[in-house]
Amino acid sequence: MSDSSVKVRRLSDLQTLVSLSKRRGFVFQSSEIYGGLNSCWDYGPLGSQMKLNVKLAWWKAMTRRPNMCGIDASILMHPMVWKASGHVDGFSDPLVDCKDCKTRFRSDNTDSYINEKKCPECGSKNLSEPRNFNLMFKTLMGPVDDAGSVIYLRPETAQGHFVNFLNCQTTTRYKVPFGIAAIGKSFRNEITPGNFVFRTREFEQMEMQYFVRPGEDEKAFEMWKEIRWSFYSKFGIRKENLRFHPHGPTELAHYAKAAFDVQYLFPMGWSELEGIHNRSNFDLTQHTKFSGKSLEYFDEAAKEKFIPYVIETAVGCDRLFLAFLCDAYREEVTVDEKGQEDVRVVLGLHPEISPVKIAVMPLSKKEELMNIANKVYSQLSEDFAAQYDESGSIGKRYRRQDEVGTPYCATVDFDTINDQCVTVRHRDTMKQDRVKISELNDYVRKGMKEF
């Protein structure tokens, strides 16, 4: 990489990543053999491991702090939750139907409609009036199919934090300020899903609510902006691809007193990655009103009761997964004397995010090498997600691992039989080290820490 004759090309279109994801087992179209299901995706052998790493990185960053705890709340909640939260009445998009081609589209973000009142598909002006369409998925609970059985798939995990606010506070015995973090599936019947896993109807959220004394909310809001920014820096998201976007008065959600998006420069342009919101005491006040149960906090030192304000950080796991892939993708291009291009595709993922940490490769299929390589693989697998790869030339095997972001490859060669060492090759620098097998796990652990 330090070689100046190597040119680096970054990702310019999402399709390159969609193809790589399918080819290498990161993400597949859901129900593909039936023709797929629009906007639904399955995470494959590498993708499911990487997604787990993304969640673990977030979970550790959020819960390994003083006065922070985690919960795992149910997807199905009491229907009154969504009345109280404002989702039943307010969580909707304005939709217009084209009476000619039957396309249904949003009236508030479709240019052809905003400018000329035309259908974006066929250009017809034979359109319905905009009607509000609620984004929550409905289902029925229990065997009776009537209006009383209707419940919703949650459209955000946050309400699980609010209804468990006092359960968490009393069991942890935390004093305000304290925070609750959770990771879980949410569902929204989005009108315009798309851009791969960026906007889907079923997705995973990683949300945190920080409960503070009123008056201390603005300071906490600034604190969480900094914490979340440093999370992205720590995991190597390039600074030039990240920015804060403050919400103007017309962008603010019904619950928010102030909000900032963390935006990432995806191939389709700057888009929201995470929302950081000051939700004031809106939610706890609403749940107090609708449930009839007080959600006030008693401050023993000050001998006073209050309803805490809430600072929320909310990021989509799938969206962060996509941002990591976009940011990590590079093509290293070298051109030989005859003008022939050689392209090394690398996912320069942070090792904590990479699905595989180290690949073990016997130089040949000779039994004595394969036996050692298998032992090395077992030793590494005790601590890391490792892979065993014996097929193809070593060069090809390195390239395969580069393309899926594996930071290290350990080659077992004929010298290994005598010196009990392997050659460790680094993904980014292609530097090679000779390392004792007995010290290999520590070597990888140290390298990952210092990355």
Q: Print burial letters for 237-266: b (CB count within 10 Å at least 16), e (below 16).
A: beeebbeeeebeeeeeeebbbbbbbbbbbb
- What's the closest the beta carbon of residue 156 comes to ligand GAP, in angstroms? 4
Output 196 or 408, the one with its CB closest to ligand GAP. 196
Q: How many CB atoms lie within 10 A of CB 314?
A: 18
- In the bound state, the residue with its beta carbon closest to ligand GAP is 316
Output 285 or 381, the one with its CB closest to ligand GAP. 285
- What's the closest the beta carbon of residue 135 comes to ligand GAP, in angstroms? 9
**Beta strands 309-316; 202-212: pairing state:** antiparallel
Radius of gyration of the chain (CA): 26
- What's the closest the beta carbon of residue 245 comes to ligand GAP, in angstroms? 11
Pick out residues in 269-298 that bind ligand GAP (CB under 6 A). 272-275
Binding of ligand GAP at residue 316 (CB under 6 A)? yes
What sign does the dihedral 351-352-356-361 (CA atoms) show? Answer: positive
Output 57 or 119, the one with its CB closest to ligand GAP. 57
Distance between CA atoms of 251 and 229, rounded to whole angstroms?
A: 21
Binding mask 164-203 for ligand GAP (x = CB under 6 A): ------------------------x-x--------xx--x
Binding of ligand GAP at residue 263 (CB under 6 A)? no
Pick out residues in 364-423 that bind ligand GAP (CB under 6 A). none
- What's the closest the beta carbon of residue 221 comes to ligand GAP, in angstroms? 14
Applying CB under 6 A, among 26, 50, 98, 156 the residue interacting with ligand GAP is 156
Name the segment binding ligand GAP (CB under 6 A); options: 91-99, 118-126, 142-150, 312-320.
Answer: 312-320
Peptide bond into 177 cis (omega under 30): yes
Name the segment binding ligand GAP (CB under 6 A); options: 66-74, 83-91, 107-115, 315-323.
Answer: 315-323
Output 223 or 253, the one with its CB closest to ligand GAP. 253
Output 24 or 199, the one with its CB closest to ligand GAP. 199
Binding of ligand GAP at residue 319 (CB under 6 A)? yes
- How many residues bind ligand GAP, per CB under 6 A? 19
8 A C-beta contact, residue 311 and residue 217:
yes
Name the segment binding ligand GAP (CB under 6 A); options: 40-48, 88-96, 311-319, 398-406.
Answer: 311-319
Which residues make up the interface to ligand GAP (CB under 6 A)?
Answer: 156, 158, 188, 190, 199-200, 203, 205, 207, 272-275, 312, 314-316, 318-319
